[in-house]
Chains A and B, each alone.
Chain A
Amino acid sequence: MVKNFFKSLFKNLRFNPFAKRSHVKLGLYGPPNGGKSTLANRICLDWLGEEMSTVSHIAHETREIKIKEQVSIKNKKGKELTFSLVDTPGISTKIDYEDFLKRGIKKKEAKNRAKEATKGVIDSIKWLDNMDSVVVVLDATKDPYSQVNITIMGNLQARNIPVLVVANKVDLKKANMDVIKAAFPQYEVVGVSAKYGKNVEEFYEQLFKVAR
């Protein structure tokens, strides 16, 4: 009974000095098509030798929560960090199956995709409460001042969840990291190309500061 009391107390305080670092849940959050799954695959390829998610140019490719347990990374000093990597569906305020039709997907499949995508967004929001740390993945070629991004950041701040912002797709000409940094000055921002592996070493170094 005493053991259960302390267990629920530490869970509510979101701090358990006795928790093993391997129980850290690191979530990848952000709008659709920002590169969350590509980054998840980059992490898993670099440290586990295999990918964890499918990727596509069509939004809402990831439509359910995907978890890779026991991902261990090392920094330059040889320090090790182990976490469960959680790839989440992109958060959006609207989903229209006709957008998928325009990308060449057939009607029945497009409707199914839209239905799965709405469930995916709901799951992403519900899973916010389970995260110990979050990496917010933004497309560096797009305007970061969308209400979805502001809402995600605001909810993470309200829950006291440590955040690292990744400005992805820095390999593209239109990428502008300064705009991302100006939009979210309260957080560390790392520019990467998850697709080509550019600057991921810096990203891994920053993960050690954020993941707890």
Chain B
Amino acid sequence: MVTFQFIPHNDVEGLSSAKRVNKLLNVVKENKIVIMEGRLRKEEEADLIEITMEEISPKFKGIELSVVYPDKRKQDFSQKLKGTFANLLLGDRTGMTIIGPASVVKKIEQNPDKIELFTNDNGNGNKKKRNGKRRK
């Protein structure tokens, strides 16, 4: 069984960078796959990797991370303008961040219009592939 935990932007918006990263990592360490609305800042992604390394143990091997955001090249002018205003008013909620424990998630791949999350062997030697089609 694989558990996904959705974390809305509101839950992490008011937190400091350190608290935000720790909150996400604590969920991942419970063997859940985090799907967070919005994105971490680049510096926070680096902090996430750094703190993950500090937490590596025989039970926790690390994480798989994938950040999904709209391809602005495919957006017309009005869509880009709407996105910019939305970000200004509501904070950077565009996109999605997926973080899974390395013991559960083998790999996350982004293809143009879908996200493929490969989980580790389930003991039967079968690799499971779970597709999520990205809404345009």
- Which residues of A line the B interface, CB within 8 A? 91-96, 114, 118-119, 121-122, 125-126, 128, 143, 145, 147-148, 150-151, 154-155, 157-158
B76 within 8 A of A: no
From A91, A114, A151, name the one whose CB has the most chain B CB atoms within 10 angstroms: A151
The number of residue pairs between A and B whose CB atoms lie closer than 8 Å in the complex comes to 66
In Å, the complex CA distance between A141 and B94 comes to: 31
Residues of chain A within 8 A of B64, CB atoms compared: 93-94, 147
Name B66-125 residues within 8 Å CB distance of A: 66-67, 102, 108-110
- Size range of the chain B interface in the assembly: 20 to 34
In Å, the complex CA distance between A166 and B14 comes to: 39
From A94, A147, A157, name the one whose CB has the most chain B CB atoms within 10 angstroms: A94
Asked if B49 contacts A126 (CB within 8 A), the reply is no
The 10 closest A-B pairs by CB, nearest first: A94-B62, A154-B42, A94-B102, A118-B53, A151-B45, A96-B61, A147-B65, A118-B56, A121-B53, A125-B50
B54 within 8 A of A: yes
In Å, the complex CA distance between A151 and B45 comes to: 7
Asked if B102 contacts A151 (CB within 8 A), the reply is no
- Which residues of B line the A interface, CB within 8 A? 41-43, 45-46, 49-50, 52-54, 56, 61-67, 102, 108-110
Asked if A125 contacts B46 (CB within 8 A), the reply is yes
Residues of chain A within 8 A of B61, CB atoms compared: 94-96
Min CB–CB distance A101 → chain B (angstroms): 13
Residues A147 and B56 in contact in the complex (CB < 8 Å), given A92-B62, A96-B61: no
Asked if A114 contacts B56 (CB within 8 A), the reply is yes
Asked if A158 contacts B53 (CB within 8 A), the reply is no
Min CB–CB distance A94 → chain B (angstroms): 3
A122 touches which one: B41, B43, B50, B108 (CB < 8 A)? B50
A93 touches which one: B41, B63, B67 (CB < 8 A)? B63
B62 touches which one: A95, A145, A154, A157 (CB < 8 A)? A95
Residues of chain A within 8 A of B46, CB atoms compared: 125, 128, 151, 155
Residues A93 and B62 in contact in the complex (CB < 8 Å), given A151-B49, A157-B42, A158-B42: yes
Asked if B42 contacts A122 (CB within 8 A), the reply is no
Residues of chain A within 8 A of B67, CB atoms compared: 147, 150
